[in-house]
Amino acid sequence: MVNLNIKGKKDNTYDAIVIGSGISGGWAAKEFCDKGLRTLVLERGKNVVHVQDYTTAMKSPWEFPNRGKLPLKMKEDNPILSRCYAYGEDTKDLFSDDKNHPYLQDKPFDWIRSYQVGGKSLTWARQTQRWSTYDFEGPLRDGYAVDWPIRYEDLAPWYSYVERFAGISGNKDGLDTLPDGEFLQPWEMNVVEKSIQQRIMSHYKDRNVIIGRCAHLTKPDAIHLQQGRSQCMARRLCRRGCPFGAYFSSNASTLPWAARTGNLTIRPDAVVHSIIYDEETGRATGVRIIDRLTKEATEYFAHVIFVNASALNSNQILLNSTSSRFPNGLGNDNGLLGKYVAFHNYLGTISAKIDGFQDSYYYGRRPTSIVMPNFRNVHKQETDFLRGYMVFYSATRGGWTRTVEGEQLGGDYKEALSEPGDWSVFMMMQGETIPKEQNKVHLSKDQTDQWGIPLLRIDVDYDDNDTKMRDDFFSEGTAMLEKAGCRDIKTRDRKQNPGLDIHEMGGVRMGKDPKTSLLNGFNQMHECPNVFVTDGACMTSTSTQNPSLTFMALTARAVDHAVKEMKKGNL
Amino acid sequence: MRTLVFFGVGSLINPAHIWMSCSPKVDRDIMDEGQIVLLGEIAETILPRHKGLPGAKDARVAQFIDQHIADCYTRQERLDLIQCIITIDETAKVRFKKSFVRLGAKQRFELLQAFDRAAKANKDKENIAYTNYSKLRSLIVFGFFTSEPGMKKCLRYAAIPGKYSGQIAYKKGDKIWEFN
């Protein structure tokens, strides 16, 4: 029997509740607080105080007992998490361990979690590209998923709105496949990256090569200084938390901003059990949480609820929010809740060597790479697979892990290793995957976690489209690197499980029709209009962009809509 | 059986052969004091103090490896590593009738050169000389270039670069950044 601790409904009532404090939850909190609503943010993880709790941020490599390598015990305890590139001795406190956070894999799926105030906004890769017209039109044109209820024009002003505040560096490239935004100064390409850019673009008239756009303050504006953030120092130790607040995170940006309004309450250690639905009013009235440490249940109430728990967690919460009206999960009349989950195809990588450029080097660590916006099936279907992929590449000079000419010992060897080697290129794909009904999440019928919440079962896999796309990347990437003058070009399949891309999306998709979607064009549940879902769960399709910027824009737009509706008395 | 290995003046040492013939069985998976000293001298031979810059001993590479393998290696990987350094020592005893730590710099170099060549010539995952010696060398290189003296003195270390420039002039002899 759960021990309910209702201190009195009044004490626990707010204007708005936001579930989750990551990228989209932080934005929801900021927007509500700015608009004068008393807002409660429920975060299932521990509190993380900006700067103060970035305990490893200023450490030198030799200060870590294993200089960044994972101890065997950490690997054994975290077989899934230890496959994540960002998880290490220096970042272990910003990820959630496997042992205490079980889930069930109907098919292999690496679910990477960062349960804490700030969520994955502390550990994300910070690449931020807008979607284009073609991306929103994709499902309708190619006949998969459902039509997006919005188009680029609906989101464009909101992209601008969040970009100005978050601080996005980039170059105005004028491309319709990757629209320009409100950019701070772009990062530079190095000499080899430029050479490859020129050779690819002169050979392929329909392909573009640009510098990546990322959420780093290359040259802060007044709005960023007001947030207490400062210029990026090019350390690229971002995932430890940035003491300069130079990349966008909830902790550096939206949450402290929201707190300054006086309208924000953050409740860490609040594992959301479910959303409470009132049959009489046909509205959600609040959220039931279980304290992470004491396991005590508490209920909080609000007029409007934003679900921003991260894609699969948001699915889990809604599936577990059952009532006699919604026996299969909140708003789930059509049975599609948890279905049409998709992700990004990261299977293909290519490495190559390139001769020359010995008189050139670079200074500092750049937090982005070179980007090729999708060039496949942009205007019409051209290949034997649906949709396309974005290409990333970067060029570096060989480091001290390489083999040098001659013998690998002695003073000359040591000296050779302390000088840069030849240039090499690394290229990778980020492909769209097609949302399908059979790629889904659902709840375990007989197993619960330590908070009494049914375990999430994940049933997601690759298909033929993904392998055809990988092969196309292999042949096109190889051809482009050949044209760029590279040699020793080697393709490699990472063979990684879905999920390790950490771009899982869908399950609570947006759409025009309540029969085939869960959310409307403002991320509002068709069947429970005071509940909004604006994290990755809402995504109808995945396109090829890193998704977080789109979550931010959708969230700001949805809050604007919710508050307008509240003022009209509709919510 | 050491007697299976013969050395003449100037003859090549074949560590793979030695490995098969005289390598002792190891069942203790932590290094003793003597083995740490031995590893320190092996590491110094691979990455010596050179042109006034620190070497592996200055960077306490052996002490780092001792702790690091306890944290990060499986028991079998630790046994392989210890067996590798013991085999180097056994080879020294066969070749020069002295343990490795009592050899002069030239002899140490000659001995490890033979291991290096065998490793290079046998890029075969089944070949223990290649896999174990190459692994040992990589670990020594890692331990050295991630140490404070290794990074600060032998590489260019910038804790806070402050900016990024895509193109700076490079001339032979300029050091590498501490990252790739």
Task: Spell out the residues 6+ positions from residue A245 whose beta carbon is closer than 8 angstroms to its own.
Answer: A50, A51, A217, A227, A228, A229, A230, A252, A253
Of B47, B48, B170, the CB nearest to A358: B170
Structure tokens at A210: 């640009």
| Dihedral sign for Cα atoms in the order B146, B73, A112, A110 | positive
Stretch (H or E) spanning A466: helix A464-483
Give the closest-approach CA distance of A195 to chain B in angstroms.
12
Predicted local confidence at residue B180, as pLDDT: 54
Taking only residues 102 to 121 of chain A, the set having a beta carbon closer than 8 angstroms to any beta carbon of chain B reads: none
Contacts of B34 (CB under 8 A, 6+ apart): none
Is residue B70 within 8 A of residue B137, CB to CB? The reply is no
Q: Is the pLDDT of residue A117 over 70?
A: yes
Q: Do A188 and B173 touch (CB under 8 A)?
A: no
Q: Which are the contacts of A113, defined by CB distance < 8 A and separation ≥ 6?
A: A95, A96, A101, A310, A313
pLDDT reading at A254 higher than 50: yes
Q: Which residues contact residue A100 at a Cβ distance below 8 angstroms, ignoring those fewer than 6 apart?
A: A450
Q: Which residue of chain A is at minimal alpha-carbon distance from B51? A: A411
- The alpha carbon torsion through A373, A378, A381, A386 (nearest 10 deg) reads 40
Residues A23-55 have pLDDT tens digits of 999 999 999 999 999 999 999 999 999 999 999
Q: Per-residue pLDDT averaged across B50-66, rounded? A: 98
Tell whether the model's pLDDT for residue B3 goes beyond 90. Answer: no
Measured from the Cβ of residue A293, the count of other Cβ atoms closer than 10 Å reads: 9
Q: Rounded to the nearest 5 degrees, what angle is found at the Cα of A539, between the Cα atoms of A346 and A99? A: 60
User: From residue A288, how far is each of A301, A349, A456, A531, A558 by CA, in Å?
Assistant: 9, 44, 18, 14, 23
Total residue count of chain B as it appears in this document: 180
Q: How many CB atoms lie within 10 A of CB A325?
A: 14
Q: For residue A210, which of A373, A346, A361, A350 has the smallest C-alpha distance?
A: A373
pLDDT average, residue stretch A519-535: 98
pTM over 0.80: yes
Q: What is the pLDDT of residue B1?
A: 26
What does the pLDDT look like over A149-177, one tens digit per residue? 999 999 999 999 999 999 999 999 999 99
pLDDT digits (tens, 9 = 90+) for A396-408: 999 999 999 889 9
For residues B78 and B70, what is the distance between their CA atoms, to the nearest angstrom? 8
pLDDT tens for A198-242 read 999 999 999 999 999 999 999 999 999 999 999 999 999 999 999
Q: Cα separation of A516 and A114, whole Å?
A: 31
Residues 6+ apart with CB under 8 A from A321: A274, A275, A276, A277, A284, A329, A330
Strand A389-397 to A264-267 pairing: unpaired
Per DSSP, helices labelled H in chain B are 15-22, 33-46, 61-72, 75-96, 105-121, 128-145, 148-154
**Separation in Å, CA of A214 to nearest CA in chain B:** 14
CA-nearest residue to B147 within chain A is: A62
CB of B147 within 8 Å of any CB in chain A? yes
Name all domains of chain A by residue range, CATH numbers in brackets: 1-126+154-161+241-342+436-460+501-571 (3.50.50.60)
What digits encode the pLDDT tens for the residues B133-153? 999 999 999 999 999 999 999
Give yes or no for residue B73 having a pLDDT over 80.
yes
Q: For A543-552, what is each residue's pLDDT tens digit?
A: 999 999 999 9
pLDDT at B8: 35
- Contact between residue A398 and residue A426 where contact means Cβ atoms under 8 Å apart: no
Distance in angstroms (rounded) separating the CA atoms of residues A40 and A32: 10
CA distance A402 to A353: 13
8 A C-beta contact, residue A182 and residue A217: no
* Distance of alpha carbon A564 from alpha carbon A556, whole angstroms: 12
Average pLDDT, stretch A523-529?
Answer: 98
Dist. CA A169–CA A338, nearest whole Å: 35
What pLDDT does residue A1 have? 41
Give pLDDT, residue A80: 98
Predicted confidence at residue B18, as pLDDT, reads 57
Residue to test with chain B: of A418, A422, A424, most B Cβ within 10 A? A418
Residues of B with CB below 8 A from A234's CB?
Answer: 161-164
Q: How many CB atoms lie within 10 A of CB A59?
A: 14
* Cβ <8 Å between A188 and B165: yes
Structural contact between residues A411 and A322, judged by C-beta atoms closer than 8 angstroms: no
Which residues in chain B are contacts of A362 at CB distance < 8 A? 164-168
pLDDT at A280 over 50: yes
The pLDDT of A280-293, averaged and rounded, is 98
Q: Is B94 on the interface with A (CB under 8 A)?
A: no
pLDDT at residue A5 in the model: 53
**Predicted local distance difference test score (pLDDT) of residue A104:** 98
CB of A39 closer than 8 Å to CB of A16: yes
The chain-wide mean pLDDT, for chain A, equals 97
In this structure, what DSSP letter does residue A2 have? -
Decide if the complex's ipTM is over 0.90.
yes
3-class DSSP state of A73: helix
On the question of pLDDT at B7 being above 70, the answer is no
Start-end of H helices in A235-294: 255-260
How much is the average pLDDT of A412-420? 97
Give the residue from A60, A193, A362, A363 with the most B CB atoms within 10 Å of its CB, the best one to mutate: A363
- Beta carbons of A72 and B148 less than 8 Å apart: no
When scoring A56, A59, A62 by the number of chain B Cβ atoms within 10 A, the one with the most, hence best to mutate, is: A62
Nearest Cα residue to A413 out of B15, B144, B88, B14: B144
The minimum CA-CA distance between B139 and chain A, rounded to whole Å, is 10
Q: Do B55 and A363 touch (CB under 8 A)?
A: no
A307-352 pLDDT per residue, tens: 999 999 999 999 999 999 999 999 999 999 999 999 999 999 999 9
Helix B33-46 × helix B61-72 angle, to 10°: 110
Which of B64, B142, B176 is facing A419, going by the closest CB pair? B176
HSE, CB side, 13 Å, CA atoms: give it for residue A171: 15
pLDDT score for B20: 52
Q: What is the pLDDT of residue A70?
A: 95
Q: Tell how far CA A416 is from the center of its chain.
A: 40
Q: Is the dihedral of CA A187, A160, A555, A132 positive or negative?
A: negative
Judge whether A145 and A336 are in contact, CB under 8 Å: no
Outline where DSSP puts E strands in A268-376. 270-278, 283-291, 297-307, 339-342, 344-345, 348-354, 360-363, 370-372
What local confidence, expressed as pLDDT, does residue B11 receive? 45
What average pLDDT does range A444-452 have in this prediction? Answer: 98
Which amino acid appears at position A411 of this protein?
Answer: G
Please write the tens of the pLDDT for every residue from A56-111: 999 999 999 999 999 999 999 999 999 999 999 999 999 999 999 999 999 999 99
